[in-house]
């Protein structure tokens, strides 16, 4: 089974929540915040979602100053040890959301960003809806081949395209779900077949 590591967006979301705690020494201008978040997130994405989230939460609870990148990465590494990681609860909805966001191309991620600027409540609702849908649709045992991964990408992007009214990108017609290994992928195949209906 392929373990999903953190998406860039998940890391940025964790950093945003950390920033809201008002730590001293953090960047103040929007441009500086965005630039630093990009640098931090690029490095932090190598860790699992619950590790990134817990590292930011523990820093906020224990420290008064904004962390240097090396300090935050060190906290992630410590939490990634087998003993520590076993104690970190995994939220299935957070894992599903992080995984789905990692499949989306930049055009769709911009739509989520614009929605957050214009209507934060609607953005949260859409993210929750996507997490709930993907947690039901994703293969229970993850994916093991490139064909399976591409089918997951196709499914999530189709959902988001329909949600935002975007023109669909070509969906790899040569990928026939019937050739996928017959594991627990029935919900995914059905989603692809019906062009991924959006839950009411």
Domain spans, the chain: 8-85, 92-193
Provide the CB-side half-sphere exposure for 48 (13 A, CA): 21
Scored b (16 or more CB within 10 A) or e, 17-47 reads: ebbeeeeeebeeeeeebeebbeebbeebbeb
Residues 54-73 pLDDT 10s = 899 899 888 889 999 999 99
Q: Which residue has the higher pLDDT, 76 or 6?
A: 76
pLDDT at 79 over 50: yes
% pLDDT > 70, the chain:
76
Asked whether the beta carbons of 24 and 67 are under 8 A apart, the reply is no
Total residue count of the chain as it appears in this document: 200
Region 20-39 average pLDDT: 85
**pLDDT at residue 116 is higher than 50:** yes
Nearest to 19 by CA among 65, 83, 76, 81: 65
Q: Supply the pLDDT for residue 4.
A: 62
| Structure tokens belonging to residue 12 | 């940025």
3-state SS class at 101:
helix
Please report, for residues 3, 89, 98, 195, the alpha-carbon distance to residue 183 in angstroms, rounded to integers and kept in the order given: 17, 27, 23, 21
């Amino acid at each position: 089974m392929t373990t999903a590591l953190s998406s860039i967006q998940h890391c940025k979301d964790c950093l945003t929540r950390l920033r809201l705690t008002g730590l001293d020494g953090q960047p103040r201008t929007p441009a500086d915040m965005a630039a630093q978040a990009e640098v931090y997130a690029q490095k932090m994405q190598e860790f699992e979602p619950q590790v990134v989230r817990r590292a930011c939460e523990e820093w906020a609870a224990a420290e008064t100053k904004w962390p240097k990148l090396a300090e935050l990465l060190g906290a992630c590494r410590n939490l990634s040890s087998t003993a520590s990681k076993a104690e970190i609860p995994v939220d299935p909805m957070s894992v599903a959301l992080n995984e789905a966001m990692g499949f989306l191309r930049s055009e769709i991620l911009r739509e989520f960003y614009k929605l957050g600027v214009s209507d934060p409540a609607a953005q949260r609702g859409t993210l929750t809806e996507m997490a709930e849908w993907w947690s039901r649709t994703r293969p229970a045992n993850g994916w093991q081949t490139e064909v399976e991964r591409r089918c997951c990408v196709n499914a999530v992007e189709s959902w988001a395209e329909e949600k935002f009214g975007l023109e669909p990108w070509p969906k790899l017609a040569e990928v026939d779900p019937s050739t996928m290994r017959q594991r627990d992928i029935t919900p995914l195949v059905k989603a692809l077949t019906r062009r991924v209906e959006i839950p009411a």
